Amino acid sequence: AAMREARVKKTKTVCTYCGVGCSFDVWTKGRKILKVEPQAEAPANGISTCIKGKFGWDFVNSEERLTKPLIREGESFREAEWEEALSLIQRKFSDAKNIYGPDSLAFISSSKCTNEESYLMQKLARAVIGTNNIDNCSRYCQTPATMGLFRTVGYGGDSGSIKDIEKAGLVLIVGSNTAESHPVLAARVKRSHKLKGQKLIVSDLRKHEMAERADLFIEPQAGTDLVWISAVAKYMVDQGWVDKEFVNKRVNGFDEYVKSLTAYTLEYAERVTGVPKEQMTVIAEAIHQASSTCILWAMGVTQHLGGSDTSTAISNLLLITGNYGKPGAGSYPLRGHNNVQGASDFGSMPERFPGYEKVEDETVRAKYEQGWGAGLSAKPGLNNHQMVERIHSGDLKVMYIKGEEMAMVDSNLNYVHEAFEKLDFFVVQDVFFSKTAQFADVVLPAAPSFEKEGTFTNTERRIQRLYQIFEPLGESKPDWQIIMEIANRLGAGWAYRHPSEIMAEAADLMPLYAGVTYERLEGYHTLQWPVAPDGTDSPLLFEDGFPFPDGKAKLFPVQWTEPIQYEEEYDIQVNNGRLLEHFHEGNLTYQSKGISEKTPTVFLEVSPELAAERGLEDGTVVRLTSPYGNVKVSCLVTDRVKGKEVYLPMNDSGKGTINYLTSSRADKNTDTPAYKEVKAKMEILQHT
């Protein structure tokens, strides 16, 4: 009867895949999803979406969804009532806190969850348990970019709106497979390049679609971007192509910065990177001549031992050329997940409260102690890389992970899995019985974005509301409700009736979101942070100065860190990244029939040269072995890669995942794994 009565309903939501933040109406009847209809007023995407936003929703009604809590019994799990699962959690959390202290527990928030949920997760860690051991998956991707921007310009976010990129005279893309990873944003670049005479320069290992479209495509050796970027900067300084007026008025540290560039001559850079000198001078000239320059970058920059320094070098180059504070200029670190920006904004970071205020700052801490009515720890917590280490060393006993497939996406997986097995107590909260859930003691069924209200913040710092389309399936619940129930069982006394009340509390405490209210975010209305108390937002940053005491940006000198060196037998460079059709490990997109029929599995891209040398053909099954593990995968011969470089998409729910090969080595400033510095040897298992 319910189905007969169901009417067609249209509900606005925000895509839960990449950081572009497309919003659209979803047409439904009962629990049936009829179609996704983008609206012209959608600020990030207008009437466009990519294949994931359009078709990637079958997972919401999947029979594989978790609908009841699960409790481990020996090697298997049994279904349990919420009451039993929550009281077990209450007991284990309190025991660990009382016996080993608050820092024996750790929490991982999710960039798939809403801002309000990230806020509550860190509040649970800090105010209820008393630890700063809270992190999120930006540690795996964008923390180095955030650090590079904090060091130089003071805000860890895109300088302007996605739309502004169209106004740039030059777009420089470094280490980003934009057309596949951020498709709707890439469409804008493609359009302005084709129709408006915008220049496009791409630096990558792999000749992806944007590289093919570029006016200039350079192919530096893996892990050497800082060298060519610094050489371009030095060349521009030597030519007198610095924006002197901008630097004099708005930037500190010029002389020291110039000194730090001394070693980066074109000759040296050519030797290290393999990029011909002439190509570097072409880039310098292009920046010099362009009306404005935007630099877009992603994991090809950040996932290296020197990822934060390379991000810093990019920002330095933009500063000396006056490319901040005007439309069509600035930094665009492209955020991977829909809410990776928001998860960090709302304090799921071990050393920062919501709004990036430091836990060590006494005044800030006093504000939060008062706001939350709890004593807070001044000691920065563990990031997720350190958490794994501390489980191995026996200091970390209990973990609570929400919506994060850490058992697939962390690096050096064999080591991570061993750690999970050592935990005294492990809670995993997810929509599906994920790989990570297999290691848990208690698995809690969460509701995905279609089944709750809240806000996401996209790559351009845009805060957007999502509205509830369906009731949570079975006994699953929105993450914010689950976290609140756990907190209350531990004595918190929270009484949020709706996510808007969580946002109101957060906005009161964090200046970055001061003027954010649900009323100001009705429908397709959005705000870009920082938002002043009166609701004035900031589509373009740095117009009137940088958020430092004297209003000036800082040039931050950095030096190149050599990538990980491998024994000679590991002769294959294994690059890795996304595919258009799937998202990350594929837990959600493989559930979509339309998508998985089109791209049912991943393959290893090998170059024609390597294929000829080793006798590989399309479909040849090979094993790649690094010092840390191995994967089995079939080959696809393509000229997108060259020589001994291969490309393994990370989107595979099976054994093919890249992270059996990656090491525990990480960016020296942020502990972001050096995912892109992988070498392996290859053996043929089966010819086609």
From CA 317, how far away is CA 236, in angstroms rounded?
Answer: 9
How far CA 631 is from CA of 406, 571, 626, 628, in Å, comes to: 18, 16, 9, 11
| Binding-residue pattern over the window 15 to 34 for ligand SF4, x denoting contact by CB under 6 A | x-xx-xxx------------
Comparison of 52 and 65: residue with beta carbon closer to ligand SF4 = 52
Question: Binding to ligand SF4 by residue 49, rule CB under 6 A?
Answer: yes
Residue 344, Cβ neighbours under 10 Å: how many?
28
Distance CA 656, CA 401 (A): 23
How many residues at the interface with ligand SF4, by CB under 6 A? 13
Q: Is 184 in the site for ligand SF4 (CB under 6 A)?
A: yes
Q: Decide if residue 350 touches ligand SF4 (CB under 6 A).
A: no
Residue carrying the six token digits 């990980």: 564
Binding mask 266-305 for ligand SF4 (x = CB under 6 A): ----------------------------------------
Cβ-based nearer residue to ligand SF4, 403 or 629: 403
Considering only 45-53, 277-285, 382-390, 485-493, which stretch makes contact with ligand SF4 by CB under 6 A?
Answer: 45-53
Residue whose CB is less far from ligand SF4, 114 or 292:
114
Q: Does 45 bind ligand SF4 (CB under 6 A)?
A: yes
| CA gap 601, 443 in Å, rounded | 27
Which of 50, 233, 516, 648 touches ligand SF4 (CB under 6 A)? Answer: 50
| Minimum CB–partner distance for residue 140 and ligand SF4 (Å) | 18
Please give the C-alpha separations between residue 528 and each of 75, 254, 568, 608, in angstroms, as whole numbers: 48, 31, 49, 46
Rounded to the nearest whole angstrom, what is the least distance from the CB of residue 620 to ligand SF4 in the complex? 32
Residue type, 141: C
Q: Of the listed pieces 49-57, 385-393, 483-491, 617-625, which binds ligand SF4 according to CB under 6 A?
A: 49-57
Among 183, 454, 577, 649, indicate the residue that binds ligand SF4 (CB under 6 A).
183
Question: What's the min distance (Å) between Cβ of 503 and ligand SF4?
Answer: 21
Q: How far is the CB of 53 from ligand SF4 (least distance, A)?
A: 2
Query: In whole angstroms, how close is the CB of 179 to ligand SF4 at the nearest point?
Result: 10
Q: Does 52 bind ligand SF4 (CB under 6 A)?
A: yes
Least Cβ distance, residue 37 to ligand SF4 (angstroms): 13
CA–CA separation, 209 and 502 (whole Å): 42
Binding mask 211-240 for ligand SF4 (x = CB under 6 A): ------------------------------
Query: What is the spatial distance between Cα 396 and Cα 264, in angstroms, rounded to a whole number?
Result: 43
Nearest CB to ligand SF4, comparing residues 337 and 402: 337
DSSP 280-325: HHHHHHHHHHSS-EEEEE-HHHHSSTTHHHHHHHHHHHHHHTT-SS
- C-beta nearest to ligand SF4: residue: 53
The strand order across the sheet containing 105-108 reads 76-79, 70-73, 442-445, 425-430, 398-402, 105-108, 134-135
**Which residues fall within 8 angstroms of residue 643, CB to CB, at 6 or more apart?**
607, 609, 610
Provide the Cα torsion 44, 48, 53, 55; round to 10°: 170
Q: From edge to edge, which strands make up the β-sheet containing 454-457?
A: 454-457, 462-466, 527-528
| CB of 187 or CB of 374, closer to ligand SF4 | 187
Q: Which residues bind ligand SF4 (CB under 6 A)?
A: 15, 17-18, 20-22, 45, 49-50, 52-53, 183-184
